[in-house]
Structure formats: structure tokens, C-alpha cells
């Protein structure tokens, strides 16, 4: 069943991201354990951590009477007070700010849409559209969300149950290719940012180092200090003018240039190490990350 009383279909031109709720945004399993304890006064223990279904995760087997008792408490409280998964709110806020419309597509009964909206508002999710698909009681493997997703034609569909991707034909191949392309682009961006940070960190750490008279700054001759300062100023100017467009090899080349000038000078100060002691210049790039860990 698709309900549009709360949600009416979108009419704006924003790209849509369709999201399942339980298991994607909200922690159904944690809520199951809370409701179980509230109903029966017993705490549950995780038996199968990777199980998709809560009953299997906690090895719960209801008899008919227990199932009905649990259902009554769940229907009153379960859908309206689920905790968030870590990072889900932050991700949704970023997507919303980036111009995406977020729509919840759930197999939950439409009877509890108001409960879910209450839950979203409690946490601050920027989601006010919920579509309930229900599910096929006679054939659980039948995808209840297929028609909704095809009609929405979202830029991205996120769900934690494989069944809900079955037989969705709308540009699925395009989505997979886009996903692969975006992943590759993200990787390139990361490499570029890392290379820029490596150069910046090296240059500014060096600037601080030679300005400190208690460290290398007090051991350098005026000529050596002038040579290094000249390189530092040139690299800072280069970063100001080129960091927006420079590529990985550009940053690496500039770092190599300044290292070729600085390393021989520093080697004279510390001949036993042939380089500046690591304690004298702060770690950069990957080394800094290791230090933080």
C-alpha cells in the first residue's frame, strides 16, 4: 500500500534520494531489545550479531500470546522512539543542504506514519515525506518497493534488504556506473587533497621551525636561513595561486623542489642523521595521522 495523505508526491525539481528507515537511518534492533525488556522485563543478549532480523539476532522465539503482547507495546512505542544509527543524521543534513530531497520509503504499515514522522522530528531529520509500501504477505520475496522506486526515479536508493532491489529496472545500470564513477572521482579528490596537505604541512612546519631560535632557526647561517625562507615564500605564493587547480603531481613536484633545497642544508646541522630530527619538525601527512592515532 502506498500512502500519499502525509506525503503527496514531490513536485519540485530537486534530485531525490529514497531511503529505507529501519536499519539505514534508525536502529530497529536496539528498539526491539528495548521493547522486549519493557514488555517482558528481561534483557536480551546478542546471539547472531550479523543477523538481519531482530528475532534471529537475539534468538527470540515468540509463542502466539507473547507475539501479540509484544506487538501491542511495539505499536504504541516502537515506531516513534527508535534511536539513530551513528552518522545517519549528519549524512541526511549534508544531503539536504546539498539540495537533495530525502524521501523515506518503508514497508512499515501506513498506520504508523505519524509515529515515524514524530521519530524523525525528535532527532531532527530533514525528512517530511514517507511512503509506505507494505509487503506481500503471500510472497515475502516479492519486492514491495519496486513500483514506488521506479515512479520516484531517485538519484540514489538506499536500503538494507536485498529483496527491495529485486526487479527494479529504472536505469539500474546507470546507477551502478554512476556509483563506480563517483567512487573513482572521490578517490582522485582524496589523493589531491592529501598531496596539497602534504605540501602545506611541510612548508608551514618548516616556517615555524626556522623561526624558532631554540631549534634549527638558531643554528642556520643568515645565508642558509635566507635561502630556506625564499623557498618557503615561493611555495606559499604558489599554493595561494594554484591550490584550486593544481593536481597531485603538481603538489608533489613543488614539495620535491623545496625538499631538494632544504634537505642538504638541514643535513649539515644534523650530520649523524642526514636530516632534520623528526622531533624538530612536526610530522606531516600520513605521519601526522599516525601520531594522532
Q: Where are the beta strands (DSSP E) in the chain?
A: 16-19, 101-106, 130-132, 156-158
**Model pLDDT for residues 9-34, shown as the tens digit of each residue:** 344 578 999 999 888 999 999 999 99
Q: With contact defined as beta carbons under 8 Å apart, do 27 and 66 qualify?
A: no
* Predicted confidence (pLDDT) per residue in 61-79, tens digit: 999 999 999 999 999 999 9
Say which residue the cell 534488504 belongs to.
Answer: 161
pLDDT at 1: 37
Q: Residue 55 half-sphere exposure, CB side, CA atoms within 13 Å?
A: 7
**Would you kindly state where each structural domain of the chain is located, as residue ranges?**
1-26+86-170, 28-81, 178-292
Predicted confidence (pLDDT) per residue in 244-258, tens digit: 899 999 999 999 999
Q: What is the pLDDT of residues 156-176, one digit of tens each?
A: 888 877 766 666 655 455 666
Contact 17, 91 (CB under 8 A): no
CA–CA separation, 18 vs 145, rounded Å? Answer: 11
For 273, the 3-state DSSP assignment is coil
Hey, what CATH topology would domain 1-26+86-170 get? Rossmann fold (3.40.50)
Distance (Å, rounded) from C-alpha 245 to C-alpha 242? 6
Q: Where are the beta strands (DSSP E) in 113-270?
A: 130-132, 156-158
Span 256-275, pLDDT tens digits: 999 999 999 988 877 765 44
Pick the CATH number of 178-292 from 3.40.190.10, 3.30.1280.10, 3.40.50.1860, 1.20.1270.10: 1.20.1270.10
The pTM assigned to this predicted structure is 0.52
* Nearest residue to 150 (alpha-carbon basis) of 132, 179, 172: 172
The mean pLDDT value for 203-225 works out to 87
Amino acid at each position: 500500500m502506498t500512502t500519499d495523505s502525509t506525503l503527496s508526491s514531490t513536485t519540485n525539481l530537486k534530485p531525490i534520494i529514497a531511503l529505507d528507515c529501519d536499519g539505514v537511518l534508525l536502529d530497529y534492533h536496539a528498539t526491539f531489545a528495548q521493547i522486549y525488556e519493557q514488555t517482558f522485563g528481561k534483557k536480551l543478549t546478542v546471539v547472531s550479531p550479523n543477523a538481519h532480523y531482530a528475532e534471529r539476532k537475539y534468538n527470540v522465539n515468540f509463542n502466539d500470546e507473547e507475539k501479540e503482547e509484544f506487538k501491542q507495546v511495539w505499536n504504541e512505542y516502537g515506531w516513534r522512539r527508535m534511536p539513530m544509527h551513528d552518522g545517519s543524521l549528519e549524512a541526511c543534513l549534508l544531503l539536504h543542504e546539498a539540495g537533495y530531497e530525502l524521501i523515506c520509503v518503508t514497508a512499515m504499515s501506513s498506520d504508523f506514519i505519524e509515529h515515524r514522522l514524530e521519530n524523525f522530528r525528535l532527532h531532527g531529520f530533514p525528512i517530511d515525506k514517507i511512503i509506505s509500501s507494505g509487503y506481500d504477505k503471500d510472497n515475502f520475496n516479492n519486492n514491495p518497493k519496486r513500483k514506488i522506486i521506479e515512479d520516484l526515479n531517485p538519484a540514489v536508493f538506499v536500503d538494507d534488504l536485498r529483496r527491495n532491489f529485486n526487479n527494479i529496472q529504472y536505469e539500474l545500470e546507470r546507477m551502478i556506473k554512476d556509483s563506480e564513477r563517483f567512487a573513482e572521482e572521490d578517490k582522485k579528490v582524496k589523493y589531491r587533497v592529501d598531496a596539497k596537505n602534504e605540501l602545506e604541512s611541510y612548508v608551514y612546519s618548516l616556517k615555524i621551525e626556522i623561526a624558532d631560535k631554540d631549534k634549527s632557526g638558531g643554528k642556520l647561517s643568515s645565508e642558509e636561513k635566507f635561502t630556506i625562507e625564499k623557498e618557503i615564500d615561493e611555495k606559499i605564493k604558489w599554493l595561494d595561486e594554484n591550490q584550486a587547480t593544481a593536481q597531485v603531481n603538481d603538489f608533489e613536484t613543488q614539495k620535491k623542489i623545496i625538499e631538494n633545497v632544504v634537505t642538504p642544508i638541514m643535513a649539515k646541522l644534523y650530520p649523524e642523521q642526514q636530516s632534520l630530527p623528526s622531533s624538530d619538525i612536526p610530522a606531516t601527512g600520513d605521519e601526522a595521522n599516525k601520531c594522532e592515532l
